Amino acid sequence: MARSRTLEQHIAVFGESGSGKTVLLSSFFGATQEPQYVRESLYHVVADQQSQGTALMRNYLGMRDAGQAPMATRFTSTSYPFTLRLKDAGTRRSKERPFDALRLVWHDYPGEWFEQDASGPEEAARRVDTFRSLLGSDVALLLVDGQRLIDNAGQEERYLRSLFTNFRNGLLSMKNELLVKGKPLVRFPRIWILALSKADLMPQTDVYAFRDLVLGKAGEDVIELRNVIAGLIEGKDALSVGEDFMLLSSAKFDPDRIEVHRRIGVELILPIASTLPLERHVRWAQMQQSSGRVAENLVRSAGGLGDVVGAITGVLSKVPLPGRLGMAKRLAVSVISGKAIKRLADLSGDKLAQINAQALAKRDYLTAVLTSFRMGLDRGEAERVLLRSRR
């Protein structure tokens, strides 16, 4: 059987109504279609469904050219698949690597469903089915609305506690339907990033100030949310809730115009979706913080992402490629031995930049893109836009 030439990753985005999910998605896609981005990037970002791409581009152009924000979507949940196609696909070098495209599936969950009761059994069932579709995601973003923080200045806990309580209760209301025969879930988003949306409204706030505000005002609620999520899954030690933070702004919004080029954190979404789970899952697996089915799932997840490890570290260039199952097994051995971990950990700073430069010189676009993603995460931390858990 031919190996898949596409590596797929999922990201789930949660936020109350009006928190900016639709604007964020439109800004993310629209920016990748600008001529400069297309010219300078090593890959093309293609919407797998043409109608979705057209709608998102229309939203983006409305912001850029007419200063009009997209219409809010209510009670709708849609998955948006995008494919990143490397520009050198089809060359001899591309045939030697494990994959030549990365598919990102972006899942939105309607904010209203965490704020209001279901109108009846049919909608309640639809909520559960929609949530199940998110369970394959490795990363979840929970948006904290910057405008709501400003509206509650000095008493931010009123908004924050409401946000986390609504989300927590929403999960609890679906718990029995989500768990099959009451058994905890193995496959579940395990990295929950708290993200400040509309961060342009709070220019004095860096990611550390945002973390301190959330934990200082609603730390107990973050702990309770983590406890609820931990109660849904097997292997609660392999879970990060309220340990990762980021700032997000889709554009700079003024009364008479929207400057779409003045974004914050949006360029980190692809690196977060594609390489952050790798770092975290491998670390958890190596620390043996989980066992049995959870460890197997983490390794399997890393098995897909293991192609990324191998591509970056050079592991794949030294071994044959017997297929996905063989890759997962071989990666498990690598994880246990710590060999891949050490190689990956060594790739930072100047070393990472050196490999990136060499890859560019050799027109090895896959390694160049993946190392640039790693460098992007580091740069996000240096600029105090991103704060990653060290656990």
- With tokens 């051995």, the residue in question is 333
Identify the pLDDT of residue 95.
61
pLDDT of 211 strictly over 90: yes
pTM exceeds 0.75, yes or no: yes
What does the pLDDT look like over 225-247, one tens digit per residue?
999 999 999 888 889 999 999 99
> Lowest-pLDDT range, 38-52, 107-121, 194-208, 291-305?
291-305
pLDDT of 129 strictly over 90: no
> Lowest-pLDDT range, 30-34, 145-149, 179-183?
179-183
What secondary structure, in 3-state letters, does 167-229 show? HHHHHHHHHHHHCECCECECCCCCEEEEEEECHHHCCCCCHHHHHHHHHHHHHHHHHHHHHHH
Query: pLDDT over 70 for what percent of the chain?
Result: 77
Neighbour tally for 157: CB within 10 Å: 17
Q: Which of 306, 314, 342, 331 is nearest to 96 (CA)?
A: 314
pLDDT of 346 strictly over 50: yes
**Residue bearing the bigger pLDDT, 257 or 274:** 257
Confidence class of residue 300 from pLDDT cuts 50, 70 and 90? low
Average pLDDT, the chain: 82
pLDDT of 328 strictly over 70: no
Identify the pLDDT of residue 71.
79
Identify the pLDDT of residue 327.
46
**Residue bearing the bigger pLDDT, 130 or 47:** 47
3-state DSSP assignment of residue 163: helix
pLDDT of 77 strictly over 70: no
Confidence class of residue 128 from pLDDT cuts 50, 70 and 90? confident
User: 67's torsion region: left (phi>0), alpha (psi -120 to 50) or beta?
Assistant: left
**Cβ–Cβ under 8 Å, residues 153 and 217:** no
Contacts of residue 11, defined as CB under 8 A and 6 or more positions apart, other chains included, come to 104, 105, 106, 107, 137, 138, 139, 140, 141, 269, 272, 273
Structure tokens at 260: 């779409």
Residue type, 151: D
